[in-house]
Structure 1
């Protein structure tokens, strides 16, 4: 199915027009809901900065544990051995995060472990080495962004139809050995977002969605080649050199078949070299992403400020320098802290577009990055945490919608298995496909939860994913409340739990999908994240082997 473009991030989730009527065909409903749900007003997030209800009245074991047992600095430091390794392979660490989250003061230290930047079995010396290497890789990506931009402005760039990519068998430095979050297949192409205000200039392509995918190579007028370090490119440069990778005749082959598996892997040859891609990403493509990224960055909300004191108090001079370094403009209405935040968003999102050109940039990605840069003050560390996050979340931004459709189907199956009465009611309304939770899936509850609630949910979700990557089995969690085994789909169980919590309202009062959609869009600030996680884990216990 052809990609459906996302609407502007400035549109409000509650004030947008209602979706297609229940009688409309599924494809029509999908198109309208997608355009309606992905983008929501920045003000909707900031206006919901306070929890809706008194937490003291909620009878949730997760709520009680959250207040008592969030991972503290003292506990965190006690988990390490003398050589800086996590004891027992990180099992106790992950248990604590799953049960109570993380104290804000240590999040910047803990998140790289959860997101696969550092292996759970790595020593302090190994992590220091990874940190240095990854900083250089990020700096290289930023230089490439600037070279693309400068070359495009000077009309000295040429789109190359063939590029020779070197490939790595995994993300070097992510000692967990997980696969690189690069292309699942050569045909799943991500088109840039088209907004009315972003119509291409005359020297740009008229149909961005028709630009083919793969890799960009640009040649300066002096004929020096610029080889880009995409996620599948192996770093062949020496430790004291930051020059571009050299071509190598060894190649790998990439499967071009459709893969609906949540963690697809490449077919790799032992030479670790890339197959020949037919280039399709052009300088104009990247320029389109840059414009959209800047628009989204200056529209970001300020909810994060109270959770990031240092960035909230950034001097105006530093904020302006950051804005100038990434070419950010039109920020006169913003406070220094927001200018600085927007500039960081631009820099990191541009780097990710170069790192993963299949996805590039789509609206909604800035929502996922904003909490990360609020916690991680160093750009390179924030970037690699975002890369780890996107290893799974990137499926939400694929052109072919395979990732989104799979997740909506799982939510539907959970509801069907848990509450047949509710499911039959949804069937009557032609809403059993659960498109009304589309936005929750795409931006992982970011629009429905406050900043603190969002990161709490994400931390528990990341801990599940880290446990799976580390091969920590179901028996590890024991027979207590944490008996729920780790799952890659905890978010989907939480979304289903959110719907099930409103079953009576939906069954008795709602007679159309429009009404259910409005209910979902009005949840911002109305949810208790720990009760939600409690219910989600109950669903995992009962249904994980049936879905």
Structure 2
């Protein structure tokens, strides 16, 4: 784990997540600045708990939405923001729940270890350990793997899992590799273990490139691997539909459709222009809407408002439009900075109970409105109670399009021009202002519809 022992100085915030010396020139300096009296500090965080451990979530959300979270407590706060713990629980209740979850995780880990001994060994694979037909591989066909499947695999679920382990390994070695934290193979192996176990438990989704980018911050911020797993699992409950793909569709299509409707409603002229450019499907916004991929950027900035990532091209069937997915990496640094604030704005105090006891459902208590995030409150007050996780991301992307409205209308003669214009905002976009603009667009949209 990275130590938190030094003073909190805004000019040295990047020091919380040290960058390897050989990567310094290629990694942007962090843009995040602490805001005295606004950023949620360790002292303010601890002061938000009662003696027994009940958390004043209203107080916490207000501060996060104004100034973000101090790096030293991000992991602790995320566990609550993602619905991992009930703010109304006590310290003792959370300790019992945490211990139970750790026991459950390590039981699952032991189950996986029986199938693949490398799980939990501090090592991981980057090359195939079994043939696609389930047959064993010759030792000579795999380099430096230390372990191979010894007998043919006939169980389809097991085979599906074994086949993806090497892909997870390849993604692990590319994940945040500029950070000193991942110079350690054991830390990389922890990331591989969590992803492998999650994939085993969720065969309907499996593993899709980009999950590694969501999981990485949890591994870095939370010391116990089990705690990191459960934080990742809660994050994936919000994001998993973005990864659900078929031969003819992709999970993010719903959000693309909503983005199209939002722009058509709030800025019909821009929407028509994009339609004329054959961009009415808004495929150029996929990477922004995935809110998952956060490679090769300032890590702390990515965590400030969240790390967005993109899916690997092979998971999409978009034909000639595939090249539009690969937007400027610097642009994606700015976009992915929004998600942490989204967690705060979309926070619902019922998340914990709905996750723990989904069969019982939850009711929205109007007396608890102040415990909801700002964006979530607006939905409840407008009478819209349907699931809309990550809807704020749509309005954030809409705000990005609106900041470039004039240039898009005047200069964009094709979709490549759209991509280039959007890429030009890298380093020039104020994330806080963009989020405020997103809320304004949201209000405008609700009024018009």
Q: 1:48 to 1:420 in 2, by over 3 A?
A: farther
Query: Do 1:51 and 1:527's aligned partners in 2 also have CA atoms closer than 8 Å?
Result: no
Counterpart CA distance in 2 for 1:428 and 1:387 is: 41
Alignment counterpart, residue 438 of structure 1, candidates 268, 276, 286: 286
Distance 2:36 2:412 in 1: 36
Note the 1:55-454 alignment, pairs <5 A: 68-87=37-56, 90-150=57-117, 201=131, 203-204=133-134, 281-305=156-180, 312=181, 336-337=183-184, 339-400=185-246, 401=249, 403-444=251-292, 446=294, 450-454=298-302
Displacement, 1:350?
0.5
Decide which moves more: 341-350 or 131-140: 341-350
Shift of 1:447: 5.3
| Structure 1 or 2: more helix by fraction | 2
> Counterpart in 1 of 2:435?
533
Distance 1:448 1:419 in 2: 33
CA distance in 2, matches of 1:433, 1:474: 40
Distance 1:475 1:147, change over 3 A: closer
Q: CA deviation at 1:483?
A: 10
Contact 1:411 1:493 survives alignment (8 Å): yes
Are the structure 2 counterparts of residues 125 and 51 from structure 1 closer, same or farther at C-alpha, using a change threshold of 3 Å? closer
Q: How far apart in 2 are the matches of 1:432 and 1:45?
A: 39
CA distance in 1, matches of 2:23, 2:271: 29
Distance 1:297 1:71 in 2: 31
- Could you tell me how far 1:281 is from its partner in structure 2? 4.2
Per-residue deviation, 1:394: 0.5
CA distance in 1, matches of 2:160, 2:258: 34
Deviations 1:213-270 (Å, cap 9, x if unpaired)? xxxxxxx99xxxxxxxxxxxxxxxxxxxxxxxxxxxxxxxxxxxxxxxxxxxxxxxxx
Gaps of 5+ in 2: 1-21, 120-125, 136-149, 306-338, 352-363, 380-387
Measure the CA separation in 1 of the matches of 2:403 and 2:297.
16
Higher relative contact order (CA 8 A, sep 6+): 1
TM-score, length of structure 2 as denominator length: 0.68
Q: Distance in 1 between matches of 2:196 and 2:163?
A: 11
Q: How many residues align?
A: 348
1:463 to 344, 347, 350: 344
**Structure 1 vs Structure 2 CA RMSD:** 3.6
- 1:69 is paired with a residue of what secondary structure? coil
Q: CA deviation at 1:141?
A: 1.7
CA 1:346/1:512 → structure 2, altered by over 3 Å: closer, same or farther?
same
SS in 2 for 1:116: coil
Structure 1 residue 482, shift from structure 2 partner: 8.2
Judging changes above 3 Å, is the alpha-carbon distance between structure 1 residues 342 and 404 closer, same or farther for their aligned structure 2 residues?
A: same
